[in-house]
Amino acid sequence: MTTTALETKTAEKKRDRYSAGVMEYRKMGYWQPDYEPKDTDVIALFRVTPQDGVDPIEASAAVAGESSTATWTVVWTDRLTACDKYRAKCYRVDPVPNTPGSWFAYIAYDLDLFENGSIANLSASIIGNVFGFKPLKALRLEDMRLPVAYVKTFDGPATGIVVERERLDKFGRPLLGATVKPKLGLSGRNYGRVVYEALKGGLDFTKDDENINSQPFMHWRERFLYCMEAVNKAQAATGEVKGTYLNVTAGTMEDMYERAEFAKQLGSNIIMIDLVIGYTAIQSMSKWARRNDMILHLHRAGHSTYTRQKSHGVSFRVITKWMRLAGVDHIHAGTVVGKLEGDPYTTKGYYDLCREDFVPQNLAHGIFFDQPWASTRKLMPVASGGIHAGQMHQLIDLLGEDVVLQFGGGTIGHPMGIQAGAQANRVALEAMIFARNEGRDILSEGPEILKAAARHCMPLKQALDTWKDVTFNYTSTDTPDFVPQVTAAE
């Protein structure tokens, strides 16, 4: 074909593409099986479940279209733009293993589609409209590859694991925390009592619960004042840095800033926010925390409404990535053995995303892409909910040492009181790390190690006796789709 003929052909194609009317998304350029994603592209992996009779490729192309430039009909104004660049490109559609009717769609987005350093903008694009699209029965955002070029536009965690440890002067072991219980109803004075007892007994942190803000039974200033008395008194009693996560979550940013300023004025080293305050509020609080040398704890309140079911929503691994970019220092990331949802492999994936500088693709852990973090500070995962000292060996084996282990009931519910509960947990923790460092196999020898440690610690013996049979063995709903294949040795 001559050059002129080729040009004519291309022009005709363009005319057809932009004639008024409705056209299949796959024909509008949102399906490009030959496309090679660029290093700077954002890639999203969706689990797509089309309505009966809808072609999976057309459904996936529609997801690409609806999460980028498309609307339901052809618009001539596309031709005023570099529309080929701005169109998201679905380049691969695979059936989900063992799940008829669902497909994994890989979609690449040009970096120019997103505003620097804005989770609000990133999420408004990727999950903004498309989840309610009628031709789909269900849709789930499983994973995202965030290119270094985009990662670098975010500040990342205000403090990070290393600096947090330096500030707290605590190295080589998990940190220990507890949520004050009962979570509702205590007066400020009584609440501070729990904080003091737990910290003096051996915990590093205590924590407000997600729904402790400023209620009739305890206004926030009362809580902050009594908690800081407790923290300072425990610090003097032990010679160790202590902290309590003061939850500054409130109805407006102005209220949150006021509470955070008061926490700083009282000398607190950490504040807390809830995920429900929203991505922009989280980023604002992260910037505040950076300016004020404050550790920022995030409680993932509300996440299970959209992360837990595999068919529809957003995976927690995506939320984890967004939160490391947004700049929180702590995030609840599951316990595996406790009372809340958490498959061991999926949870391992979240922990890697929090703590590693480079996370390689690992389908068995639900990680679909290599994720470089480009020296973004590390995010401390928090394990909380139905865990106790008797599980210490399993927790350390599964979660490692850069984690906050929070034993709320397991501290406050101790038969001999809160100090005894805290001491039991701390002794169990130190004994297990000590044994691990000595080269012992803690997973198999764990119960013996705990029993030996309990010989010089009565509270630990009582804790082990009280909770020895407590387990939460239920099947997880959010599990990886790929299982490791055993290959024959050559």
Q: Catalytic positions, please? A: 181, 299
Please state, in angstroms and as integers, the Cα–Cα distance from residue 311 to each residue in 102, 131, 415, following that order.
9, 12, 43
99 to 118, contacts with other proteins by CB under 8 A?
A: none
Return the H-helix or E-strand segment holding 206.
strand 205-207
* Virtual torsion, Cα 148, 154, 159, 163, nearest 10 deg: 30
Stretch that binds other proteins, among 5-13, 135-143, 225-233, 289-297 (CB under 8 A): 225-233
Return the H-helix or E-strand segment holding 256.
helix 253-265
Distance, CA of 179 to CA of 412 (rounded, Å)? 9
31 to 50, contacts with other proteins by CB under 8 A?
A: none
Q: Does residue 229 belong to the site contacting other proteins (CB under 8 A)?
A: yes
Distance, CA of 357 to CA of 355 (rounded, Å)? 7
Closest C-alpha among 413, 402, 350 to residue 179: 413
Q: Shortest distance, CB of residue 199 to other proteins, whole angstroms? A: 11
Q: Shortest distance, CB of residue 475 to other proteins, whole angstroms? A: 36
Distance, CA of 210 to CA of 181 (rounded, Å)? 12
Residue whose entry in the numeric block shows the structure tokens 């490791």? 484
Q: Shortest distance, CB of residue 213 to other proteins, whole angstroms? A: 19
Q: Does residue 240 belong to the site contacting other proteins (CB under 8 A)?
A: yes
* Cis peptide bond upstream of 182, omega within 30: yes
Distance, CA of 94 to CA of 107 (rounded, Å)? 12
59 to 88, contacts with other proteins by CB under 8 A?
A: none
338 to 357, contacts with other proteins by CB under 8 A?
A: 357
Stretch that binds other proteins, among 84-92, 104-112, 232-240, 344-352 (CB under 8 A): 232-240
Q: Shortest distance, CB of residue 240 to other proteins, whole angstroms? A: 5
Q: Which is closer to other proteins, CB of 71 or CB of 265? A: 265
The count of chain residues that interact with other proteins, using the rule CB under 8 A, is: 41
Q: Are 307 and 316 in contact (CB under 8 A)?
A: yes
Q: For residue 406, what are its two tokens?
A: 């929070």
Q: Which is closer to other proteins, CB of 140 or CB of 355? A: 355
- Angle at which helices 188-201 and 220-238 pack, to 10 degrees? 20
Q: DSSP 3-state assignment of 304?
A: helix
Q: DSSP 3-state assignment of 138?
A: strand
Tell me which of 13, 14, 152, 456 binds other proteins, using CB under 8 A: 456
Q: Which is closer to other proteins, CB of 299 or CB of 426? A: 426
Q: Which is closer to other proteins, CB of 83 or CB of 453? A: 453
Q: Shortest distance, CB of residue 262 to other proteins, whole angstroms? A: 9
DSSP 307-324: HS-SSSEE-HHHHHHHHH
Q: Which is closer to other proteins, CB of 11 or CB of 237? A: 237
Name the H helices within 308-441.
Answer: 316-326, 344-355, 392-399, 409-412, 418-437
Closest C-alpha among 22, 134, 9 to residue 75: 22
Q: Does residue 378 belong to the site contacting other proteins (CB under 8 A)?
A: yes
Q: Does residue 458 belong to the site contacting other proteins (CB under 8 A)?
A: no
Q: Does residue 189 belong to the site contacting other proteins (CB under 8 A)?
A: no
Q: Which is closer to other proteins, CB of 153 or CB of 437? A: 437
Interior angle at CA 442, CA 437 and CA 446, nearest 5: 130
Stretch that binds other proteins, among 2-10, 117-125, 128-136, 162-170 (CB under 8 A): 162-170
Q: Does residue 238 belong to the site contacting other proteins (CB under 8 A)?
A: yes
Q: Are 224 and 246 in contact (CB under 8 A)?
A: yes
Q: Does residue 241 belong to the site contacting other proteins (CB under 8 A)?
A: yes
Tell me which of 86, 257, 434, 472 binds other proteins, using CB under 8 A: 434
Q: Does residue 479 belong to the site contacting other proteins (CB under 8 A)?
A: no
Q: Which is closer to other proteins, CB of 388 or CB of 426? A: 426
Closest C-alpha among 364, 373, 365 to residue 325: 373
Q: Which is closer to other proteins, CB of 137 or CB of 170? A: 170
DSSP 1-18: --HHHHHHHHHHHHHHHT
Q: Shortest distance, CB of residue 174 to other proteins, whole angstroms? A: 10
Tell me which of 149, 266, 301, 470 binds other proteins, using CB under 8 A: 266
Q: Does residue 225 belong to the site contacting other proteins (CB under 8 A)?
A: yes
Distance, CA of 406 to CA of 207 (rounded, Å)? 9
Residues 6+ apart with CB under 8 A from 434: none
Residues β-bridged to residue 170: none
Please state, in angstroms and as integers, the Cα–Cα distance from residue 31 to each residue in 55, 59, 455, following that order.
12, 10, 66
Q: Does residue 237 belong to the site contacting other proteins (CB under 8 A)?
A: yes
Tell me which of 17, 137, 165, 193 binds other proteins, using CB under 8 A: 165
Tell me which of 52, 438, 469, 490 binds other proteins, using CB under 8 A: 438
Q: Shortest distance, CB of residue 171 to other proteins, whole angstroms? A: 5
Tell me which of 95, 97, 172, 251 binds other proteins, using CB under 8 A: 172
Interface residue list for other proteins (CB under 8 A)? 162, 165-166, 169-173, 202, 221, 225, 228-229, 232-233, 235-241, 265-267, 357, 375, 378, 423, 426-427, 430-431, 433-434, 437-439, 453, 456-457
